[in-house]
Amino acid sequence: MIASMSVISSCSKDDFTIENKAVTGDLTFIRTAFIPLSFDSTGLVPLSAQISMEGDGTLSDIGDVHFETTFKIDLVLGMGTDFVTTYTGSSPADSFSSTGTSQVQPNGSFLVQDNLGSGTGKFSKISGEGTTTVWLNQAQDAGTATMDWTVTY
């Protein structure tokens, strides 16, 4: 799974690598877990689930990242909640997190609203937000994600 303005810090411009800058990029991912949380009256069709995914890609001004995410999804409404995503840079010491929600779009993609923070290493001052557009493959066990964020770090 974001298009909005990031929180502007009171630190001087020299304290950041980038400040309030558009960050874009593409990731590929696979689903690593699908745990049904509720079922229809037959007990056979999941109505909600917890999903985990992981993948890799490159984000402008951030570089190569590996990500892992877990979230809950209402399969009837197409709404995802409780996103907890960790992005790790080329060094394991450089990471940041994203939280948010998602909603299926009329074109079949999912639009995730991301809020960035909780950074370590070179991302220790990260803040920002934006959207991630997620496309699933036909089997819905892998796909691609395109980020469109505004970031300070």
How many CB atoms neighbour CB 70 within 10 A?
Answer: 17
Contacts of 108 (CB under 8 A, 6+ apart): 135
Domain residue extents for the chain? 16-152
Contacts of 60 (CB under 8 A, 6+ apart): 22, 23, 24, 25
Architecture category of domain 16-152 in CATH: Beta Barrel (2.40)
Cα(132)–Cα(114) distance, integer angstroms: 7
Going residue by residue through the chain (153 aa), what tens digit of pLDDT does each one get? 333 333 333 444 557 899 999 999 999 999 999 999 999 999 999 999 999 999 999 999 999 999 999 999 999 999 999 999 999 999 999 999 999 999 999 999 999 999 999 999 999 999 999 999 999 999 999 999 999 999 999
Smallest Cα–Cα separation from 85: which of 146, 149, 1?
1
Vertex 85: Cα angle to 81 and 88 (nearest 5) = 170
Cα(149)–Cα(70) distance, integer angstroms: 20
**Whole-prediction pTM:** 0.88
